[in-house]
Structure formats: structure tokens, C-alpha cells
Amino acid sequence: MDKLLSLVSTDGAEVLVLEWAVTLMKWIAALLLCASSGAGAVTHDYTVKLEDGRLHVADLNAVLTNELHVPAVPTTTNLDLSSPTGRDFVRAVNACLWRGSTLRVSPGRAELRIQPLGDEGKVRSLQRMARLITAERAPEATVSQAKRWGLYVPVPIDPNRPLVVLLHGLDADRGDCVPMAQLIQRDGGQVALFGYPGDQPIADSGSSFGIQMQSLRSEYPAMRIYIVAHSMGGLVARCYLESPDYAGGVKKFVMIGTPNHGSTWAPLRMALSMQEHYYLRALDPNWHWTWFITEGLGEAGADLSPDSALLHELNAQPRRDGIRYTIIAGNVSDVDLVEADVATSVSSCIPKPTRSWWGVSRCYGDMQKFADDHRARTGESDGPVTIKSAELKNVSDFVVLPADHRSLFLPDNNKAPAAYAIVHDRLAK
């Protein structure tokens, strides 16, 4: 979806590009219906001739109508695919298509490949269409939301110094990166922040991150880049770093509480999304109800499931040569901390004059001990991410800290993020 957001503007031609993409989505919806009715798991390739580099969209419509027996969408649009608007159109169409399906332009022809979908793929494609259609119907709200995403670099940037790029986790935003950024800047570093839609597919966020990093690499080819990512942000970064699209330049990569093998807490992501939008509604005057949809419909949560296709594919890739990996995990569960806070809250309700009374003192003391024990308890996870899930093959620099998932990356009770000392040490070496 990020590829389309840049096309939404007050410029008429660019808005038309998005409208054409929405028309394509109607064809795609029909294809999904055909696939659901037993069309067979066969990849379909179609060719549409171009006249002087121009695509008669009606010809593309005819291919789908006549050969696949899908409903026609009336259109008379002709488009020069070699023009900037034409190239944007192709990118928009490919943003609508699912993985494995593409629209490519060759000399004299446009080639459309439709890859068959399983049940999960159908759901993902319908979710993507819902996001794109909502974005098209509420362009102003979509543009306002998109301003929260992307790569934010220091101005001016010093290419002779390393640039530390910070990524947030699930249902968060770049604001969560600010405390860590301030500490790095305090110690002499320069920092960039990358924000992305927290609920959309992780691969889509990784693709957006890759585009930004490739652009940065092109502009500053000699600059060293260090990446520090919290939670799901580590997976977003890996989607780029360990893919064929990697453009180089990254020297160090620190993952903090990253669920490399998934999290059993993933189904609870809806609560995080509701909390995020509750605060956004209160703090951002541009908040719109469509943000719930255009940010994603829970695809990221599905990707975080331990048996997801995304994690299987990602973990099958080798680590990137030339990058020094560090993994920081926590062993204090959020659940223990919540139980400790509840015990403290209940015990505080006991009037102070009565806390020394016989029977009451024992009850008060037991609750205090319960709270202290739970705050000091360590185990096999930071709450949502187990130590085992954070591990990654061929990464030996693995550090476990007595902290929960949140306090690893964010300040807690006016204390610096628990992971910062390790982050500072690894970046300084």
C-alpha cells in the first residue's frame, strides 16, 4: 500500500493513477472469485499489445473478460506506459496484485501473470483491496496518515559519520524511537527514524524500508549505516537486509526483543491497535476512522504467528555477510510485572494505621512480598517474546537482560532503556 500512498495528492493525473488501480482491483476481485470456484492451481500468462508504447486499457479488460469470463469494467483509457504516469500506473497495479502476480512492460507489449492463490492468499488479497479502496475513498485522511511513515533523516546529514536508523515494533510509531534516539544523539551519534504501518504485512513494510534504504545508499554511497530495531521492527529490517534487494552499506544490526521465530501473543495484537488509535484520536487532530483500515487489517499479527509462511521464508535465508548482528533479549515477563502492580495496588488500599494489626500485617506483608518476588522474577521470556524465539541461526552475539519487552527499548521509571548500554557498546566498537 505504501507504493500507492505517494500517488495520492491534489494533482489530477496522480489521482487518476489511483483510480485506474482501483478499477484493476475490481478485475482482481473477479479473479479471486474464479479461483474460489475451482479454476485450478494453474499460473496464467496474458499478453496485451501496445501501440507506440500506449496501453489501451480496454484491451487488458478484454483479455480478462474473454479468456477468464469475468465481468467487464467499462473503460476507454489509453496510457503511455513509458511516461512517468504510466510507470506509476504499473507500480500501482503491482501494489494491488499479490505475491507472484505481476504486470510487466516489454517492448511492444504488456505481460500480465496471475499466480493461483491458496485460502490464506485470498484473504490477504481481499485485505489489501480493502486497504486500497479505503485509501482511495478518503484521500485526505490517507495523506495525513502517510506523513507518519517513511524515513526521517537528520538535516543536515554528515555522510562521514555513521547513521543509526531506528525502527519501532508492532502497533507503535516513530515516537517510540525518540528516547533511544536522544540517548544516541547525546553520545555523539546521528540518528534517522523509520516509521511504517504497524498492522500491514511485514513484507510490505520491509519493501517500503528497502526502497528508502536504497535511496539513501544511492545518495550517500560511502556512508556507514547501523540499524537498531525493536520487536517486529527487526523482522521488517531483515526483510530488506537478507533479501536480493539489499543495496549494501549496513555494517551493524541490533535487534531488541525481536520475535525471530514468532510470538504466541500475536493474536492479542487487536488490543494494541485499539490502544494506539485511542491515543492517536486524542493527540492527532488529523486522525480519521479510516486509519484503522489503511494501516492494515491484522496481517502483521498473522505474520508473527510462530508457524507463519513469512517467518518460515525469512528464517530460511542466510545472514547477510558483512553485517555484524547483535540480539538483545529480555527475561522478565510483562505478566509478572502486571501481577506485581496489582498486588501493590491492592495492598495500598489497606489503611496505614491498620497495617500493624494482627492478621492484617500478615496479609499486607504477603502482598508486598508477592509483588517484590514477581518484579524480581526472571524466566524464559520478556512477555510476548521468548528467549528461544529471539535466537537466530549463526548469530553468536546474543545478550539476555533482566527486563521486559517494553523496558528493553523504552525508559521505565525514569531509567534509560535497559538495552541502551549494550546498544551503545556495539555501535561504538
At 198 the pLDDT is: 83
Q: Model confidence at 429, in pLDDT bands (50, 70, 90)?
A: confident
Q: Model confidence at 43, in pLDDT bands (50, 70, 90)?
A: confident
Distance between CA atoms of residues 272 and 127, nearest Å? 19
Q: The whole model's pTM is what?
A: 0.70
User: Which cell is 335 given?
Assistant: 505478566
Distance between CA atoms of residues 308 and 232, nearest Å? 14
At 8 the pLDDT is: 36
Torsion of CA 8, 11, 14, 16, to 10 degrees: 100
Evaluate the CA torsion angle 217, 222, 223, 225 in order and state its sign.
Answer: positive
Query: In this model, does residue 183 exceed pLDDT 90?
Result: yes
Residues with Cβ within 8 Å of 139's Cβ and at least 6 positions away in sequence, in order, are 8, 15, 18
pLDDT tens, residue by residue, 11-28: 444 445 555 555 555 555
Contact 35, 122 (CB under 8 A): yes
Q: Of 312 and 138, which is predicted with more confidence?
A: 312
Q: What is the average per-residue pLDDT within 160-180? A: 93
Domain topology for 145-333+381-428: Rossmann fold (3.40.50)
- Selection from 64, 130, 125, 129 nearest residue 99 by Cα: 125
Evaluate the CA torsion angle 367, 371, 376, 380 in order and state its sign.
Answer: positive
Q: What is the average per-residue pLDDT within 139-164? A: 89
Q: What is the average per-residue pLDDT within 361-374? A: 67
At 91 the pLDDT is: 74
Mean per-residue pLDDT over the chain, rounded: 79
pLDDT tens, residue by residue, 62-116: 776 665 555 555 666 677 878 877 777 777 677 666 666 788 888 888 888 877 6
pLDDT tens, residue by residue, 313-364: 999 999 999 999 999 999 987 655 555 565 566 667 777 777 777 666 777 7
At 301 the pLDDT is: 83
Backbone angles phi, psi at 80, to 5 degrees: -80, 105
Query: In this model, does residue 4 exceed pLDDT 50?
Result: no
Distance between CA atoms of residues 406 and 423, nearest Å? 15
Distance between CA atoms of residues 106 and 288, nearest Å? 41
Evaluate the CA torsion angle 199, 204, 210, 212 in order and state its sign.
Answer: negative
- Selection from 197, 383, 389, 229 nearest residue 298 by Cα: 197
Q: What is the average per-residue pLDDT within 145-158? A: 88
User: Which cell is 330 given?
Assistant: 529480555
Q: Model confidence at 389, in pLDDT bands (50, 70, 90)?
A: very high
**146-175 burial code (b ≥16 CB/10 A, e <16):** bebbbbbbeeeeeeeebbbbbbbbbbbbbe
Cis ω on the peptide bond leading into residue 156 (within 30° of 0)? yes
Which residue shows C-alpha cell 523504552?
410
User: Which cell is 271 given?
Assistant: 488490543
Query: In this model, does residue 248 exceed pLDDT 90?
Result: yes
pLDDT tens, residue by residue, 127-144: 776 777 777 778 888 888
Query: In this model, does residue 218 exceed pLDDT 90?
Result: yes
CA 345 to chain centre: 36
Give the start-to-end residue ranges of the domains of the chain: 2-137, 145-333+381-428, 335-376
At 337 the pLDDT is: 55
